[in-house]
Structure 1
Amino acid sequence: MTDFPKDLFDLSTTELLTPISQAVTFRRQLIHYPGFVGAIQAVERCHAMGRHKLEEPDCLLVTGVSGCGKSTLRKTYADRHPRVELEDRTVIPVLHLELPSQPTIKNVAERILMAMEDPFAARGSAESKTARIIKLLAECRVELVILDEFQHFVDRGRGVVDYKIADWLKQIINAARVPFVLMGLPRCERILEANEQLRRRFSARFELKPFSVRTKESAREFKRILSTLNEELPFPDRSVIAGADVVSMMFYATNGLIDYLIKLVSKGIEIAANEERNQIDLNVLARAFSLAIFQQCSDETNPFHPDFIRRVLNHQGEPFHGYA
C-alpha cells in the first residue's frame, strides 16, 4: 500500500474565516496523490534529459480524461521553475500554454510566441513564426515545452487528424533540441500515429487515471484520499466524507475525478460554514452535489439521497456522460 507524503497538502494562503474564503482556501490546496506524484516524476525525467540538449530529445505524452488533473499538473510544474528576468533576456526554463480550441499551425505558433512575450507574435507567415519560435527557444533558454489540450488537433466530429502538425512539431524539436510534453485527452494519441519519427520521440507515455473503487486496493486508496481531505476540513467534528458507507457515494458523485472531488468538498465547506455546522454531513453533501456538480439531479440521481439508484451518472444530460 502506497504511503502518502507528509506534505500531502500545500497551503498557499492562510485560512480565512468567511465560508467562501474557507472554501477557496481548500480549493487552493495541492493534493499529492500517487498518480499525480507519478506524473510529476515523469515530467521531471523528461525535463532533466532535455537539459543535455540531445540531438533527439526524449519527449512525453500525458493523457487523461477531463477533470483528472492535467492542467493542475502543467501549472504546478511550471510554478516550480519560474521565469527569471535578466538585463538582456527573460529566461523561461519551462514554457507552458493551453492550445486554442480550433488550432492551426499558424495560430498555435502565434500563441507560443505570445507565451515567450514576442511583441510581433501576430505578424508573419507560419514559416516565419516557426523560425522565430526556434530562435526564441534558444534565446530564452527554454528547457521544456508543455502544450495542454493537444487533442484539439483531432477533429472531434469526424476523428480526422491534422497530419501537418506532426511534421511541424518534429521540425521544431529537431531544430531546437528542446523536449516537449504534450497533454490531452486520450484521442490525441492519434496525432502521434501520423508520424513514425514523432511517435518514436514520444514513446514515453503517462496516463492520469481517475480514482476507482473496482478493486479492494483502489477503494482503499480512494478512502485514504478522502480521509486526508477530512483531516484538513475547518470543522471541530469529523465529517462523514470518508465513512465506510459514504466512500461509494463519493465515488458516484465524482466519478473518481479529482476536479469534481475538490469542487464537491469545497462547496460542502461553504454550505456547512455558512450554516455554522460542526461538520459536513450527508445532507450537506446532497446539496453540495446538486449545486456544484449536477443541478438537475433528482433524488434517484443524487448519490447522497436514500433513493439514489447506484450507478455511474453517465446517461445523456448527466455530469459524466461521455466518460468511459
Structure 2
Amino acid sequence: MDVLPDRAARAEFPVGERQLIMKKLIINHDRLKEARDAFARFHFPVVGGVADSGSISLVMGDSRTGKTFGAKSYLGGFPQRPGERGMIYPALLVEMPASGGYRAILENLADAMSIAHTLRMNNSVLTNNILRGLEFHEVELLIFDEVQDVCDIKNPRLASDFKRLMRKILNLEKASIVCIGLPETYGLLSSDKQLVGRGGLQYAFLHPYSWDSDEERKSFRLLCDQFDEGMPFLNKSSLGATATAERLHWVSQGIIGLLKNFLFIAGSLAINDGSIHVDTTHLAQAYDWIKPPQTSFNPFRDDWSKKPDTVVTTAPLTTHDPFAKRKRSAHAQ
C-alpha cells in the first residue's frame, strides 16, 4: 500500500481529499502478487534470463478480480525509454475496443506505439506499419485486455481477424502476447490450434477469495484489515474482525473490486456523518443501496443465521473452472 500520512492527520483532511484517499486506495494483497508473478513468468520464463518471444499466454478470472490492475502494476517496472532509433516500449497494455470492429483494434494498437494513422490508410497498410513498429520499438511483451470482447463466437469474422493478427505478431518471434479476459476466454483461444501451438497457451486463473478454508479466511480478513488501515478515519473500524469480514465476504463474493466499491460507499456515508470510523449502520445502509430489488436480508442488520445460502444476484455467475462448461447458478434470477 502507498505510504499515507498517519491516521490522525488523514482524519483531519478536507472531505474531498478523504474521499479521494478511499477511491484511490491501493492494497498489496496476495491476489495482486499472483497476477504480477504470472505476467513475470510469461515475460521471463527463466528468472534472470531473457524475455520470451513468439508465445501466447492468458490471465483470466471473473470481473474485478484484479487482472488489469495486476497488468498495470507489472508494467510499471518497464517504462518506455529513449533508444538509438526512437522510443523503446518494452511492454505495452492495449485495451480491446468495445465497438468499431477490427479497425478499432488496429488503431488502439497503433496508438499504444504512437504510430500515426489516417482514415485513408487501409487495414493492410496499418497492419504492416504495426508489425514494423513492434520491431522498431523493441516491444517484448504485448498485453491485450478484455479479449473476450473481440473473440466472441457471436462475431466470428472479428474473432478470426484478431486471431490472425496475433499469429502474425507471434510469427515475428520478437514479442510474446498475454491475453486478459473472463473465464470463457480460455475456450475462445484454446479452440485455435495454431495459437495453442505458439507456446502451449499457459494460463493463470485469478480466483475470488473463498471462505471455505482457514487460509482463505485469514487472507480475506487481512485484506479487510489492510483496507481498514488505509481508510481516512481517526479510529479503525474492525473490518478484519471475523464476524465483519465474513459479512463483507458474503456481500462482495470475495471479489476485491466489489469489496473496494462497497467500502467506498460505506466510508462516504461515515464521512458525511462526521463519524470517527465506519460502523455497522454505514455498512447496512451501503448494502441497502446495492442489494438487488426484492431482496430483504441485510447481513449488517439482520440475524446472520437467517442469511440465504448465497448472495442473490441479478446476473449469472461464471464458474471458476476454466475447463468446465459454464452453468447458470441456481440462485441467479
- Smaller-chain TM-score bracket: 0.7 to 0.9
Offset of 1:123 from its aligned partner?
Answer: 4.4
Match of 1:312, SS? Answer: coil
RMSD over aligned CA atoms reads: 2.9
Q: Quick one: which amino acid aligns to residue 166 of structure 1?
A: K
Distance in 1 (alpha carbons) for counterparts of 2:272 and 2:50? 54
**CA deviations over 1:285-318 (Å, ceiling 9, x no partner):** 1122344x44747442x332216733333443xx
Contact 1:230 1:241 in 2 (8 A): yes
Match runs of 1:39-188 below 5 Å: 39-49=35-45, 52=50, 57-85=54-82, 89-102=86-99, 104-120=101-117, 122-155=119-152, 162-188=159-185
Contact 1:252 1:312 in 2 (8 A): yes
Match of 2:242, SS? Answer: coil
Match of 1:96, SS? Answer: strand
Contact 1:68 1:210 in 2 (8 A): yes
Corresponding residue number in structure 2 for 1:4? none
Offset of 1:213 from its aligned partner?
Answer: 0.5
Count of aligned pairs:
310
Which 10-residue stretch deviates more, 157-166 or 186-195?
Answer: 157-166
Contact 2:224 2:239 in 1 (8 A): yes
Offset of 1:83 from its aligned partner?
Answer: 2.1
Offset of 1:106 from its aligned partner?
Answer: 3.0
Offset of 1:194 from its aligned partner?
Answer: 3.0
Corresponding residue number in structure 2 for 1:211? 209
Decide which of 228, 238, 241 is 1:240's aligned counterpart.
238
Corresponding residue number in structure 2 for 1:37? 33
Q: Percent identity, please.
A: 22
CA shift in 2, pair 1:119/1:161, >3 Å: closer
CA shift in 2, pair 1:168/1:314, >3 Å: farther
Corresponding residue number in structure 2 for 1:22? 18
Which 10-residue stretch deviates more, 109-118 or 198-207?
Answer: 198-207
CA shift in 2, pair 1:295/1:196, >3 Å: closer
**CA deviations over 1:80-113 (Å, ceiling 9, x no partner):** 3222356852221211121012464332112101
Offset of 1:267 from its aligned partner?
Answer: 2.2
Match of 1:166, SS? Answer: helix
Offset of 1:260 from its aligned partner?
Answer: 1.0
Distance in 1 (alpha carbons) for counterparts of 2:3 and 2:262? 19
**CA deviations over 1:29-70 (Å, ceiling 9, x no partner):** 32222222021012113223598466x533320001111111
**CA deviations over 1:5-25 (Å, ceiling 9, x no partner):** xxxx12489957133422321
Distance in 2 (alpha carbons) for counterparts of 1:13 and 1:237? 14
TM-score, with length taken from structure 2: 0.82
Corresponding residue number in structure 2 for 1:309? 307
Distance in 1 (alpha carbons) for counterparts of 2:120 and 2:43? 30
Distance in 2 (alpha carbons) for counterparts of 1:53 and 1:278? 50
Distance in 2 (alpha carbons) for counterparts of 1:160 and 1:217? 45
Contact 2:81 2:89 in 1 (8 A): yes
Q: Quick one: which amino acid aligns to residue 175 of structure 2?
A: V
Q: Quick one: which amino acid aligns to residue 176 of structure 2?
A: P
Offset of 1:161 from its aligned partner?
Answer: 8.5
CA shift in 2, pair 1:235/1:252, >3 Å: same
Offset of 1:250 from its aligned partner?
Answer: 0.3
Match of 2:44, SS? Answer: helix
Offset of 1:222 from its aligned partner?
Answer: 0.9
Corresponding residue number in structure 1 for 2:317? 322
Contact 2:65 2:206 in 1 (8 A): yes
Distance in 1 (alpha carbons) for counterparts of 2:203 and 2:22? 31
Q: Any gaps of 5 or more consecutive residues in structure 2? A: 320-333
Match of 2:172, SS? Answer: helix
